[in-house]
């Protein structure tokens, strides 16, 4: 007797459902222009004009700077709030987060140091990054009342900015973040690249030293090239690419481990079950090496508990702890010092 499968061959492929991976290359532009309620996504400035924005709007200017860069991001999130009823930028950011988390970098039209400090203070508690600009003349002096000095004194790590002498420069930071956000976070320096749409400014060596000392960046000429210059640091003195790489690791590891819990009906509290989590961690660390966040020179070490050595209480709790790893950051060469050579006839 023949079976149906001998006549009809049916193949079913099972697709494992996975949670969405957060986009860490999208920029959110938050302004108090109130063109609409909530947020919208745009992939061009033309679409913004069609949606009611005007060329003089801060959001439009920011978008134009972002989309003028090469390489450029695919789209941006534009959030709007009514300054008459919602005067607090932090509340507006929280509202935007409540509506969508599909963004990572934040630029705003905040113009006062009070607002910028409030934004930076809030961002420090979040897995997002705030990029701002400053045109305060005291920033290029020994004064310590400017926004850069204040953030440096607080050792903040998730906000960093760029200074412009020309007070007419509007949303200049959007060009800076637009140029670097298209790459995997943590894989570039945020230095030594040309920003389309901006004019390089002249700084004396004294002014440049003040800016570097305050961990401020600036746009100037190096030889014949117009580029971003600075230490490549966040206010605490740590490298921007190091901080962004650490945030990338935190978010991606969290996503991988959560996806494992989400897609499995049950994970046994055995060495086999623990190894599933270890495998996810290995995947993220290997990706970090590929993205030049971690170096492959020394490899990385992962330590997981032995299920057979856990107490009954630990196993009964269902909590997996002591999952640790050590890895070396790839680092970056930023300056070249003391090149010495000998020439002879």
Of the candidates 287, 187, 194, the residue with the CA atom closest to the CA atom of residue 243: 187
The pLDDT score that the predictor gives to residue 10 is 63
| Residue 194 burial by Cβ neighbours in a 10 Å radius (0-12, 13-18, 19+) | middle
Under 8 Å CB-to-CB from 257, ≥6 apart: which residues? 277, 280, 281
Strand partners, 30: 79, 108
Instruction: Name the least confident of 33-42, 105-114, 192-201.
Output: 33-42
Beta bridge partners of 131: 160
- Stretch among 13-17, 69-73, 158-162, 237-241 having the lowest mean pLDDT: 13-17
* Per-residue model confidence as pLDDT tens digits over 18-43: 566 888 999 999 999 888 878 999 99
| CA 46 to mean position of chain CA atoms | 26
Q: What is the predicted pLDDT for the residue at 66?
A: 98
Count Cβ atoms below 10 Å from residue 293 Cβ, excluding itself. Answer: 24
How does residue 11 score in pLDDT terms, banded at 50, 70 and 90?
low
pLDDT of residue 85: 77
Average pLDDT over residues 290-316: 92
- pTM for the model stands at 0.90
pLDDT given for residue 298 in this prediction: 81
Q: What's the whole-number mean pLDDT along residues 275-300?
A: 93
Evaluate if residue 9 carries a pLDDT over 80. Answer: no
CA distance 345 to 281: 58
Q: Are 216 and 230 in contact (CB under 8 A)?
A: yes
Better pLDDT: 72 or 38:
72
What residue segments make up the domains of the chain, in order of their start? 27-241, 242-327
What is the chain's mean pLDDT, rounded? 92
H or E segment to which residue 241 belongs: helix 240-263
- Please, which pLDDT band fits residue 309 given cuts at 50, 70 and 90? very high
């Amino acid at each position: 007797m023949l079976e149906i499968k001998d006549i009809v061959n049916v193949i079913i492929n099972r697709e494992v459902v996975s949670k969405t991976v957060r986009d860490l290359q999208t920029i959110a532009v938050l302004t108090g222009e109130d063109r609409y309620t909530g947020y919208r996504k745009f992939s061009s400035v033309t679409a913004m004009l069609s949606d009611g924005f005007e060329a003089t709007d801060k959001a439009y200017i920011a978008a134009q700077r972002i989309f003028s860069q090469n390489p450029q991001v695919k789209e941006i999130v534009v959030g709007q709030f009514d300054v008459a009823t919602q005067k607090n930028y932090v509340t507006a950011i929280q509202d935007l987060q409540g509506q969508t988390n599909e963004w990572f970098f934040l630029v705003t039209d905040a113009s006062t140091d009070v607002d910028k400090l409030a934004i930076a203070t809030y961002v420090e508690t979040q897995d997002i990054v705030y990029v701002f600009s400053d045109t305060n003349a005291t920033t290029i002096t020994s004064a310590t009342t400017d926004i850069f000095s204040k953030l440096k004194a607080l050792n903040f790590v998730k906000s960093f900015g760029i200074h412009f002498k020309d007070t007419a420069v509007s949303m200049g930071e959007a060009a800076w973040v637009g140029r670097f956000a298209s790459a995997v976070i943590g894989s570039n320096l945020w230095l030594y690249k040309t920003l389309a749409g901006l004019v390089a400014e002249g700084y004396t060596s004294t002014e440049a030293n003040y800016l570097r000392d305050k961990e401020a960046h600036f746009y100037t000429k190096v030889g014949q090239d117009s580029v971003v210059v600075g230490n490549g640091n966040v206010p605490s003195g740590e490298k921007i690419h190091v901080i962004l790489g650490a945030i990338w690791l935190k978010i991606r590891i969290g996503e991988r481990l959560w996806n494992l819990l989400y897609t499995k009906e049950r994970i046994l509290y055995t060495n086999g079950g623990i190894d599933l989590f270890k495998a996810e961690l290995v995947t993220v660390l290997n990706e970090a090496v590929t993205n030049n966040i971690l170096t492959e020179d020394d490899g990385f070490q992962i330590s997981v508990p032995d299920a057979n050595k856990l107490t009954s209480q630990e196993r009964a709790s269902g909590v997996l702890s002591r999952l640790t790893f050590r890895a070396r950051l790839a680092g970056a060469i930023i300056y070249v010092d003391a090149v010495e050579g000998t020439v002879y006839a």
